[in-house]
Amino acid sequence: MTASPTDHIVRERRAIRALTLPGLIRLVTEIDDNGPISQKRGSLQGALGDLPLGHLRHAIDTARDLGLVHAGGHATVRYQLTASGKDLAEFYDTAARWARARQLPSPVSDFVARVQHALQAEDDGSPYTGATPEPPTPRAALSAWLTAHPRLLRRDTAPCLEAAQESGRAA
């Protein structure tokens, strides 16, 4: 049975909500930028210490559920990115570059805010202010990522998101 266009839109919106969780963005980019998180006591909190413990746990659970991280193959590695997680980190970089080039959501914004804004906003035709070549739009990059990794569109992300919203962890 083929999904209707409405089903696809609903699933894409759920995917966007899942992918814009601040803790998930931080976890994926931290591992991408600095390598796998080790088993050493406190290494996870050291890397993401400013996130409340509940948010951090939720980010890890979400990343595991979405197939973005897995336990390392040897005793010293606790979490490392899967191929899907590495591609998502690249996508987050693309979205942040797009937003930064347009000074969105403001001229001085952090990485998470830029990624969230880029994913939650429709392409509004904001003028491109950079001197470098135009980066791909976040929607085009998202479509490419979801096509390459359709797992998120196939699964029901609603329970995961409802739990996050109930505890105040959703963006």
Q: State pLDDT tens for residues 103-154.
A: 999 999 999 999 999 998 764 455 545 555 565 688 888 888 998 988 887 7
pTM to 2 decimal places? 0.80
Q: CA–CA separation, 160 vs 77, rounded Å?
A: 26
Q: State pLDDT tens for residues 36-59.
A: 988 776 688 888 889 998 999 999
Q: Is the pLDDT assigned to residue 155 strictly greater than 90?
A: no
- The per-residue DSSP string of 101-168 comes to HTT-S-SS--HHHHHHHHHHS----PPP--SSPPPPPHHHHHHHHHHH-THHHHS--HHHHHHHHHTT
Work out the average pLDDT over 19-24: 96
Q: Is the pLDDT assigned to residue 167 strictly greater than 50?
A: no
Q: State pLDDT tens for residues 64-117.
A: 999 999 986 666 778 999 999 999 999 999 999 999 999 999 999 999 999 999
**CB-based contacts of 168: which residues, under 8 Å, 6+ apart?**
none
Q: Could you confirm whether domain 5-166 is CATH 1.10.10?
A: yes
**Model confidence at 170, in pLDDT bands (50, 70, 90)?**
very low
